[in-house]
Amino acid sequence: MINRYSQVTCLRSLDFAYDTTPPQDIPTKTLLQILQSPVQYQRVNVSVCVVEERENSEEFTKGNTVTPLKKVVYAVSDQTASLLLTVWGTHTFCLKNWYHFSDVSVRNFMGQTTLTTTRDTNIQTIPHAGPSVDPIVDDITTTEGELSMVNIDVQHLCPKRHSLDSVNFSTLMTRCHSCKAFCKTAKLSAVARGTLTIIDEAGTQHSFNLTDKLIRETLSLNPGPLPQPDELAALFLHHDRATVTTKGSRVLSVLVDAPPEAPSSEDAATAMA
């Protein structure tokens, strides 16, 4: 019964789209069958050879913003086709061995059909099922060049993830207009995003979008508060060169050359003494 005390929750914010198929009715499909009918969010069982590890990271999921979850992308193949499979959580696979994955979800990412494990996925070792097709080829590109431009924005969020217009970090509290409440300034979070431009050997300019994760990884920044945008930009532009790895339009990693020698804090302390 729905009455005025009922709460309606929007399913779009769920980590995994809701699929009501009971486990016993989930079909076992070959990878080719999945590619021929790549209906997003359908649940399937697959028996595949785990061929290669492609990406390895830790990410926050929508349902869990406290502890990051291990996320590994594998190229998997059967006798019909090859796909990328994202495995969440800690699992160990012997590459080139075969496994049965029950209850995995079909996704479409930038025109590419992929599979991802769900919280209901079960993984079992199975006997080798003969030769599998060659692993899927990634369109991974590496661009190297001189760093020429960077633009960084920093957005501050209240503990309930509302965007705040301006924050004065020397004050105890900040008012969030969405919450209609004051929050402790120390409990605000910061999200950076930006663009980076490099010039390759041929003189061509390449611009890339940077996510918060990439910016923090590249600059070795911890989760939590961030420096001002101009300070972040300066941290990038202290470097001369950058190597950017992309897959389609998505940036996978940014490597910058070693920064010029800066005096360590110990040296600075000695100099001041």
Interaction site with Zn ion (CB under 5 A) = 158, 160, 162, 176, 178-179
Query: If you count DSSP H runs as helices and E runs as strands, how many of each does the chain have, helices first?
Result: 4, 13
- Helix/strand/coil percentages in the chain, nearest 5: 15, 45, 40
CB of 62 to Zn ion, least distance (A): 18
How far apart CA 164 and CA 216 sit, in angstroms, is 21
Nearer to Zn ion among residue 128 and residue 175 (C-beta): 175
CB of 189 to Zn ion, least distance (A): 11
Q: Which residues contact 176 (CB under 8 A, 6 or more apart)?
A: 158, 160, 162, 164, 182, 183
Nearer to Zn ion among residue 163 and residue 195 (C-beta): 163
Nearer to Zn ion among residue 176 and residue 251 (C-beta): 176
CB of 158 to Zn ion, least distance (A): 3
Q: Which two tokens stand for residue 41?
A: 């969010």
Q: Which two tokens stand for residue 72?
A: 């590994």
* Triad 155, 176, 235: Cα angle to 5°: 20
Nearer to Zn ion among residue 154 and residue 158 (C-beta): 158
How far apart CA 86 and CA 108 sit, in angstroms, is 12
Place of tokens 């590459």: 95
Q: Which two tokens stand for residue 94?
A: 């012997």
Nearer to Zn ion among residue 31 and residue 158 (C-beta): 158
CB of 2 to Zn ion, least distance (A): 28
CB of 6 to Zn ion, least distance (A): 24
CB of 221 to Zn ion, least distance (A): 24
Nearer to Zn ion among residue 140 and residue 179 (C-beta): 179
Is residue 31 within 8 Å of 80, Cβ to Cβ?
Answer: yes
